[in-house]
Every structure is written in C-alpha cells, then in structure tokens.
C-alpha cells in the first residue's frame, strides 16, 4: 500500500498525540481526521476480568487435581465443561479489556487530502444462489456502492458469484445500464438511500420532480426484466444484444454446474471507457464466477485494480450514508482492519443473533482494539 500524503501523515501523528483532548482545540492547531479516546471504565473492567480469571483458574485446577487423584467420568465431564465455559467467557471479555470512544471529523477531510490523493477502493460483494438471494437485491447493493461519493476512477466493484449463475450476470448487465442514469440522479439530488428499491419503496414520496418519475419507470422496467428471467430460469438469446456479452453467456455450456465450472471474469463497466448520461466516468464493475478457490477474487482484483483498501459486503446490504467515515481512519494508516456492524431490518425471533455469533463478533472487535 502506498504511503499517505505528507500532510496526511502529519495529521495522523498529531491525531495520535492528541487522543483524548478536546476535538475543537485540536482542529484549531491542525485538523485531525479522527480521534481515539480510551474509556475511563477500562481499568475497572480489567480488574474484574483478572479477579474472575483467577476464580476460573482455581476451579479448573480443582477439577484437574480431582481427575488426577480419583479419575472418573463425572470429573472428566466437569473439567471439559469448565474449560468450554471458560473459553466462552474469555471471548466475551475481549471487548471489555480496552473500550475506546472514536470520533471522526468529515469536515476536515478536504483540508487534509484532495480527491486525487484518496486511495483506490475495491468493493467485494458476494452472492451464491439466485433463488435464495434474488439478483434484483444484488443489483440494488451494487448500485448503492457505485453511487458512493468517491472518485469514480478510484472505485471498483467486484461481484463474486459462487453459484456461477447466468441469471446473476444478466441482472448485473441490466444494472450496469441503469447505473448510467441512477448515479447522476443520486448525486444531482443528494439522495441518501442510494439503493433504488429502498429509495422508491421507503413509504415517502421522493418523486418531487419529473425526472424522478422517469427514473422510477426505468427501475421498474429493469426489475421486471430481471424477475422474468429468474422465473424462467434461463436467459434467452434475444435478451442479449451486446456482442461482448453474448460471448460471456456462451460459457454456460452443457455440464456447467455451480460445483464444476471454469472461472468467469467479465468486466461490465470500465472506468476509462464507460460514461453516464452526463458524460461522467463510471466505477469499474466486474463479475466473477470463480472456481472453488477461496482466493480467486483477491487475485483478480490484484491484476485489474490492486487497490490498497478492500471493502467486503454481503449481497443484501446497502449503505445508508454517503459520507466516507471509514476513510478518515484508512487514509492515515499504513495497515488496518475496520469492522462496521450491520443494522438489520425485518428481523424476527428465529433470525436473531446467537451467542456464538456474538462471541465471534467480540473476538473481531478485540482485534480492532489492537489496531
């Protein structure tokens, strides 16, 4: 990863030196992009964790000694249970060892770096089954990412289709055509929800201008075409007019299955060539149907764009903010990892997170504290 600009490095050093100080005072000296203030409760948490750990160690030691002196199945089961519960408890305490309060200052980003100095960004969107994960939903995720307020020449979107479905590729081709109208519309009217499905279906009336009616009609037409293809289960030749895309669909030959197929890489939009309706460049959009090799999408991005920053999204997510908050951390660090928790809509009792999921999340957050 290339080093950040000199003025960015200076701000990064200043930010680390002034952690915990008044952000307003720091801004007057040299505006930071972010601050990190340790929580005052961390010492109480650490003492509590230490005392509790000693108690657990004593209990495990007691069961271990009993198992050695008088072996029995009951003692062995108790020891194993204590070890498992101790591990679960330890993972839950990871987040409490070093809690911090972070704050970003979006207004300072233009003062620290120009858009030409922003690092390149590769976004990976993963999908598997077009019937469980509708292609329309994947397209909405892609469109919301492509509409980021980020330089188009520095943004690349990769869709990794583990199912190897021509339905997903067809949907992305339709989405690529719609993006030429949707992206300038979002930026012209400063749209917040840049997923078309959310924007047109959030219960509000976004159609305050004639252009909105036209964009909605285009989206509904695109959505209907995709859903008809998914319902039919195949893409008919008359629906593909682009010669390059016809060659792409010719790769779906007899014997092509989700478990056994060659790698497919199709560049649907290329920044240096494709423009929107007002002649602005569009982000790169690449479809990947990989062989069963976990590193395929990394290798493809390394050859095509090789961005120093990678964002991984699920196929049914979208961003509710246009601001580049994560960049206020990434632009000042040489190596880092950021986890942004999701906000889930339409959850029910059967879909709530399990304790195991929360345990894994806490382990991830513990690694975040170390950065």
Residue numbers belonging to the annotated binding site for UDP-alpha-D-glucose: 133, 162
Strands, E assignment, 94-182:
100-104, 121-127, 155-161
Query: How far is it, in rounded angstroms, from Cα 43 to Cα 97?
Result: 8
Interacting residues of 272 by C-beta distance below 8 A, sequence separation 6+: 281
> In this structure, are residues 71 and 19 in contact, taking their beta carbons and an 8 Å threshold?
no
The count of other CB atoms within 10 Å of the CB of residue 299 is: 13
190 φ/ψ sector (left φ>0, alpha ψ -120 to 50, else beta):
left
216-232 exposure pattern, b = at least 16 Cβ within 10 A, e = fewer = eebbeebbeebeebbee
Q: 119: number of CA atoms within 13 Å, CB side?
A: 26
Question: Which residues are annotated as part of the binding site?
Answer: 133, 162
Residues β-bridged to residue 288: 160, 265
d(CA 315, CA 324): 20
Cβ–Cβ < 8 Å for 329, 104: yes
Spell out the alpha helix ranges (H) of 107-151.
Answer: 109-112, 135-146
d(CA 12, CA 228): 52
């Amino acid at each position: 990863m290339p080093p950040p600009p000199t003025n960015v490095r200076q701000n990064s050093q200043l930010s680390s030196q002034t952690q915990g100080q008044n952000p307003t005072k720091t801004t007057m000296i040299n505006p930071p992009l972010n601050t990190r203030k340790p929580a005052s409760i961390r010492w109480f948490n650490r003492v509590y964790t230490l005392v509790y750990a000693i108690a657990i160690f004593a209990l495990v030691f007691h069961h271990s000694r009993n198992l050695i002196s008088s072996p029995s199945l009951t003692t062995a089961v108790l020891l194993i249970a204590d070890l498992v519960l101790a591990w679960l408890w330890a993972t839950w305490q990871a987040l409490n060892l070093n809690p911090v309060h972070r704050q970003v200052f979006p207004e300072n980003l233009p003062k620290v770096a120009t858009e030409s100095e922003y690092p390149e960004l590769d976004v990976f969107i993963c999908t598997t089954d077009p019937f469980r994960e509708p292609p329309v939903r994947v397209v909405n995720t892609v469109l919301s990412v492509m509409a980021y307020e980020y330089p188009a020449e520095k943004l690349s979107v990769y869709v990794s289709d583990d199912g190897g479905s021509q339905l997903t590729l067809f949907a992305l081709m339709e989405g690529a055509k719609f993006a030429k109208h949707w992206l300038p519309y979002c930026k012209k009217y400063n749209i917040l929800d840049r997923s078309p499905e959310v924007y047109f279906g959030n219960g509000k009336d976004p159609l305050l201008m004639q252009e909105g009616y036209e964009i909605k009609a285009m989206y509904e037409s695109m959505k209907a075409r995709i859903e008809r293809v998914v319902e039919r289960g195949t893409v008919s030749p008359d629906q593909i007019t682009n010669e390059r895309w016809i060659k792409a669909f010719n790769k779906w030959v007899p014997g092509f299955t989700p478990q056994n197929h060659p790698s497919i890489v199709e560049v649907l939009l290329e920044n240096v060539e494709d423009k929107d309706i007002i002649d602005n460049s569009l982000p790169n959009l690449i479809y990947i149907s990989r062989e069963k090799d976990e590193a395929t999408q990394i290798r493809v991005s390394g050859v095509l764009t090789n961005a120093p920053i990678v964002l991984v999204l699920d196929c049914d997510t979208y961003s509710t903010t246009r601001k580049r908050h994560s960049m206020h951390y990434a632009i000042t660090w040489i190596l880092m990892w950021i986890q942004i928790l999701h906000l889930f809509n339409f959850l029910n009792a059967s879909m709530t997170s399990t304790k195991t999921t929360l345990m894994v999340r806490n382990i991830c957050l513990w690694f975040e504290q170390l950065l």
